[in-house]
Amino acid sequence: MYQLIKNGQVLIDGQLQKRDIAIDSNGQIAAMAPTITTLPANPRAIYDAQNNFISPGLIDSHVHFRDPGFTTKETLQTGSAAAAHGGFTSVIAMPNLSPVPDNLPNFEQLIVRNQVESSIHTYQFAPITQGLVQPTLVNLSAFKASGAVGFTNDGHGVQTAQTMYQAMQKAAQIGLPIVAHVEDESLVNGGVINAGPAAKRLSVPGISNVSESAQAARDIELARATGVHYHICHISTKETVNLVRRAKQDGINITCEVTPHHLLLDETAITSDNALFKMNPPLRSLADRQALWCGLIDGTIDIIATDHAPHTTSEKQQSLLHAPFGIVGSETAFSLLYTTLVVNGPFSLAQLISWLTAKPANIFKLPQAGQLAVGQPADIAVFNLNDTTTIDTTTFLSKGHNTPFLGTKVQGTTMLTLVTGQTAYQKE
């Protein structure tokens, strides 16, 4: 445990300012000042941040850790190590596991394993329904009591309005969000990438925008009727952005997230039958991608989350038709976003950090996360913002190497990640 981090640059009122940070033996931030000289007796260690940027530990509200059930893709240990490598100190894990943690003993065991086996804070979403696909709701209040931070069938849309309506009524009563992967399966038609020019050129079935937006429209009306906090995952279409914008204007309790890949890529990146470009929802058109940027600019989109979805290399070497949906994101998110949105884009570092820290902490009520402040846990990420690298999967700590960003030149390297003052990642 570090006692003192010296010579950091911290965002204060949107500006980088020099700060030293002292950490007490409980792993909490004890002091933050331009210069700290007085150390407690027996200082354990001093870390010289060398004028690098010190961020509150990043928060990723959408990861797939695959454990239990799919541990050849990822485990709690490798998933959390990858997150720490990306500067994330808190994540919320999705319940599309095997077995699905849809009964309390399994769910409670998962909560314990998340704490014991993960090197970061791993919070857990509970399923909305049994097996993620059945019409039977879980007992939402019991899962809340066991530590669920929200409910989601991520990987699947909730197919009937009645099931979603009942889930929202219950979730509203207990004050937890419904976190929705919006996808109407009757409109998917076996699609594997966006219904657009790339699908035509490669002769593969396409996924239309309405498969997302039609269900989002339904859910927004159900959210209006129930008053639930309704959060949309990985928003990808211009129509859904417009729906969320109007819903916010109407005062509906709605939030949403966008992934780095939907911000940075669109279907024009898919030039061959390469399943590293296959994820759900798919990369959409340029017009959709532009709408996502506009959504960030005007606050329609609240946060950025990775949807880190590791799969094995052999699975992703299959054709677009047969490979599973999903790409990894934990270890590339910050550098890709910093490079594209801040260095080469219109956004400030402070905006980017708010989408990755304070805002997700606020949306998912993680009061111990998302800010650097005296008395808060020392969840800290140190980034060298000037270091330029090329994305290289051999540096990944995730078991998943399935990224379409291989070889992309990026700026911003994680130097150190502390979780409650303990080192979760340190660059050698």
Ligand X SMILES: NC(=O)N[C@@H](CC(=O)O)C(=O)O
- Known binding site for Zn(2+): residues? 62, 64, 154, 181, 234, 307
Distance CA 290, CA 261 (A): 13
Nearer to ligand X, 4 or 83 (CB): 83
Among positions 219, 267, 307, 379, the unique one binding Zn ion when judged by CB under 5 A: 307
Nearer to ligand X, 227 or 324 (CB): 324
Distance CA 114, CA 67 (A): 9
Name the one range near Zn ion by CB under 5 A: 117-125, 175-183, 185-193, 381-389.
175-183
Nearer to Zn ion, 181 or 278 (CB): 181
Distance CA 356, CA 88 (A): 9
* b/e per residue 352-391 (b: at least 16 CB within 10 A): bbbbbbbbbbbbbebeebbebeeebbbbbbbbbbeeeeeb
Alpha-carbon dihedral sign for residues 16, 22, 24, 30: negative
Residues annotated within a binding site: 62, 64-66, 96, 154, 181, 234, 280, 307, 311, 325-326
Name the one range near Zn ion by CB under 5 A: 80-88, 176-184, 260-268, 337-345.
176-184
How big is the chain, counted in residues? 428
Among positions 326, 360, 404, 421, the unique one binding ligand X when judged by CB under 6 A: 326
Nearer to ligand X, 30 or 232 (CB): 232
Query: 325 touches which of ligand X, Zn ion, none (CB within 5 to 8 A by kind)?
Result: ligand X
Q: Give, for 415, the enclosing helix (H) or strand (E).
A: strand 409-419
Query: 96 touches which of Zn ion, ligand X, none (CB within 5 to 8 A by kind)?
Result: ligand X
Residues annotated within a binding site for substrate: 64-66, 96, 280, 311, 325-326
What order do you get walking across the sheet with 303-304 strand by strand? 178-180, 230-232, 254-258, 303-304
Name the one range near Zn ion by CB under 5 A: 72-80, 258-266, 299-307, 310-318.
299-307
Among positions 56, 79, 101, 155, the unique one binding ligand X when judged by CB under 6 A: 155
212 sits near Zn ion (criterion: CB under 5 A): no
Reduce the DSSP state of residue 385 to 3 states and report it: strand
329 sits near ligand X (criterion: CB under 6 A): no
Give min distance, CB of 233 to Zn ion, in A: 5
Nearer to Zn ion, 20 or 60 (CB): 60
Q: Are the CB atoms for 209 and 182 separated by under 8 Å?
A: no
Q: Is 60 a catalytic residue?
A: no
What are the two backbone dihedrals, phi and then psi, of residue 228, each rounded to the nearest 5 degrees?
-65, 155
Distance CA 215, CA 158 (A): 9
Binding residues among 299-318 for ligand X as defined by CB under 6 A: 307, 309
154 sits near Zn ion (criterion: CB under 5 A): yes
User: What are the angstrom distances between the C-alpha of 223 and each of 143, 162, 343?
Assistant: 21, 12, 37
Distance CA 353, CA 304 (A): 10
Binding residues among 47-106 for ligand X as defined by CB under 6 A: 64, 96
How do beta strands 409-419 and 46-48 pair? unpaired
Nearer to ligand X, 17 or 313 (CB): 313
Binding residues among 278-297 for ligand X as defined by CB under 6 A: 279-280
Using Cβ positions, the residue closest to Zn ion within the complex turns out to be 181
What are the two backbone dihedrals, phi and then psi, of residue 403, each rounded to the nearest 5 degrees?
-130, 135
Write the CB contacts of 12 (distance below 8 Å, at least 6 apart in sequence): 19
Give min distance, CB of 259 to Zn ion, in A: 9
Which has the closest alpha carbon to 264: 306, 204, 310? 306
Q: Out of 273, 307, 387, 392, which one is annotated catalytic?
A: 307
> For 95-237, where are the alpha helices, taking DSSP H only?
104-117, 140-145, 161-174, 197-202, 210-226
Nearer to ligand X, 155 or 360 (CB): 155
Binding mask 253-292 for Zn ion (x = CB under 5 A): ----------------------------------------
Among positions 67, 154, 267, 379, the unique one binding ligand X when judged by CB under 6 A: 154
Binding residues among 232-251 for ligand X as defined by CB under 6 A: none
Q: What is the number of other CB atoms lying within 10 angstroms of the CB of residue 205?
A: 14
Return residues touching ligand X (CB under 6 A).
64, 96, 154-155, 181, 279-280, 307, 309, 325-326
Catalytic (active-site) positions: 307
Return residues touching Zn ion (CB under 5 A).
154, 181, 307
